[in-house]
Amino acid sequence: MAAAGARVFGLDFSPGMLAKARAKPGAGAVRFVQHDLATGLPFASGSMDRVTCCLVLEHVADLASAFAETSRICRAGGFVLVSDLHPAMRLQGTQAQFTDPATGRKTRPAGARHQLSDYVLAATRTGLHIDHMSEHVVDDELAARSPRAQKYLGWPLLLLMRLRRS
């Protein structure tokens, strides 16, 4: 989006994750902001054409406030794109995790147990209209391409929502 001429902000509360984002190609054109989504978003109301929130909400307890904030900063006619680990993954015991390279220890960041209806109600109660919503199941083709996905064959892995601001 930045390469296409958009003014892009990238927000995360983790200095380590921001450092990784800053190291990516093209990051020089993006303004990075360290901020906790749980305390609102540091942008003016209606100031954004597009708001994307990728793989973050599974870590945020108050879904209603998070959607209210993304809706608030999006201009009328703009849209909000949300992707998240599908709630079914939590039910079958999967959540985000990484291995600490220093200690080799597995770390699981705090996660929230949202249901699909929580996403739908939180979004639609803030003036956002669902343009598109899809649940992406691991099929044979993905399992063949990604050995890590094989154990989730037949399970919905990803939730995607495109929400238009009225």
Interface residues with ligand SAM (CB under 6 A)?
12-14, 17, 36-38, 54-56, 59-60, 96
CB of 166 to ligand SAM, least distance (A): 26
- Considering beta carbons, is residue 108 or 145 the nearer one to ligand SAM? 108
- Considering beta carbons, is residue 14 or 92 the nearer one to ligand SAM? 14
- Considering beta carbons, is residue 67 or 129 the nearer one to ligand SAM? 67
CB of 56 to ligand SAM, least distance (A): 4
Q: For 18, phi and psi rounded to 5 degrees?
A: -65, -40
Rounded to whole angstroms, the Cα distance separating 79 from 131 reads: 9
CB of 34 to ligand SAM, least distance (A): 9
CB of 71 to ligand SAM, least distance (A): 17
- Considering beta carbons, is residue 19 or 144 the nearer one to ligand SAM? 19
- Considering beta carbons, is residue 60 or 159 the nearer one to ligand SAM? 60
CB of 145 to ligand SAM, least distance (A): 19
Q: What's the length of the chain?
A: 166
The 3-class SS string of 51-119 reads EEEECCHHHCCCHHHHHHHHHHHEEEEEEEEEEEECHHHHHCCCCCCEECCCCCCEECCCCCCCCHHHH
How far, in Å, are 16, 20, 25, 71 from residue 63 at the CA level?
24, 26, 31, 12
